[in-house]
């Protein structure tokens, strides 16, 4: 809760209930429901995405306040390329805008910004912006904020296998393929597996997100559309997570 104290803000009552000894290191979020949020207001879908930026800011703040070390947000999937060109274009414009607007905060708060996904698919300008912010923040020691862009869990596993096969062809790999080997060739091998995965909009689906990494992740589905997501939803999810017993296939103590 360091951040709140620094800013002199009052603490949300739910924050007091969170056990500081059981904070998940890594929280991943499937940000869903922007389209429905916009439709229910008679707005264009892109307005839902625009409003969704408030959700992103709330998630980042809540992660920092609670001491979560890694936050990974599913911003654009490999399947999202099927959407109308105008929506895709606007989504990347929004991302460019977000990076520009949040530049100072990322610096001041020492956020380490990262991406996972097939970045080569992205518009040149967005890719350049992303690469710049990643390089600039590489030594930052605050929250690691990862955006999944043109990301697919199956694509990531296929990409890892291709890299292993290439190594084998060059004679640089001739041992047994273990879980450790696959992990090494993921997009961000050093990121720990998520402890908690949150999905908004009440849908019970994984949608091809972090398939390898979520083997033992706790999943929480929230009945809120992403543009309405605020810090208290994050706190609620953390409290629910802390009530669970993680056994990793073992038995209770």
> 37: exposed, middle or buried (C-beta count within 10 Å: 0-12, 13-18, 19+)?
buried
Candidate ranges 3-11, 25-33, 126-134, 188-196; the one touching ligand FPP (CB under 6 A): 25-33
DSSP 111: P
- Answer for the pair 145, 56: CB distance below 8 angstroms, yes or no: no
Alpha-carbon span 123 to 112, nearest angstrom: 22
CB nearer to ligand FPP: pick between 49 and 233: 49
Of 23, 26, 28, 49, which lies in the binding site for ligand FPP, with binding defined by CB under 6 A?
49
- Answer for the pair 26, 72: CB distance below 8 angstroms, yes or no: yes
Helix (H) or strand (E) holding 232: helix 231-242
| Binding residues for ligand FPP restricted to 62-91, rule: CB under 6 A | 75, 80
Contact between 150 and ligand FPP by CB under 6 A: the answer reads no
Contact between 213 and ligand FPP by CB under 6 A: the answer reads no
**Strand-pair category, 26-30 with 70-77:** parallel
Alpha-carbon span 74 to 12, nearest angstrom: 26
Convert residues 172-211 into a mask of x (bound to ligand FPP by CB under 6 A) and - (unbound). ----------------------------------------
Candidate ranges 13-21, 48-56, 127-135, 170-178; the one touching ligand FPP (CB under 6 A): 48-56
Residues that bind ligand FPP (CB under 6 A): 31-36, 49, 52-53, 55-56, 75, 80, 94-95, 98, 226
Catalytic residues: 32, 80
């Amino acid at each position: 809760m360091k951040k709140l104290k620094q800013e002199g803000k009052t603490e949300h009552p739910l924050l007091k209930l969170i056990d500081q000894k059981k904070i998940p290191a890594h929280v991943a979020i499937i940000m869903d429901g922007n389209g429905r949020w916009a439709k229910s207001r008679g707005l264009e879908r892109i307005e839902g995405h625009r409003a969704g930026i408030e959700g992103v800011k709330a998630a980042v703040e809540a992660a920092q306040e609670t001491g979560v070390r890694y936050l990974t947000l599913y911003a654009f999937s490999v399947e999202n390329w099927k959407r109308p060109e105008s929506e895709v274009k606007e989504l990347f414009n929004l991302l460019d805008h977000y990076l520009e607007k949040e530049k100072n905060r990322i610096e001041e708060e020492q956020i380490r910004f990262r991406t996972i996904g097939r970045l080569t698919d992205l518009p040149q300008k967005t890719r350049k912006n992303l690469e710049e912010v990643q390089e600039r923040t590489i030594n930052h020691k605050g929250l690691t904020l990862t955006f999944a862009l043109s990301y697919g869990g199956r694509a990531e596993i296929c990409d890892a296998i291709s890299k292993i096969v290439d190594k084998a062809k060059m004679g640089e790999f001739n041992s047994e393929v273990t879980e450790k080997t696959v992990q090494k060739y993921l997009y961000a091998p050093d990121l720990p597996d998520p402890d908690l995965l949150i999905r908004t909009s009440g849908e019970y689906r994984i949608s091809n997100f972090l398939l390898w990494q979520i083997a033992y992740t706790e999943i929480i589905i929230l009945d809120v559309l992403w543009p309405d997501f605020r810090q208290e939803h994050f706190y609620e999810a953390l409290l629910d997570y802390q009530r669970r017993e993680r056994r990793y296939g073992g038995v209770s103590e």
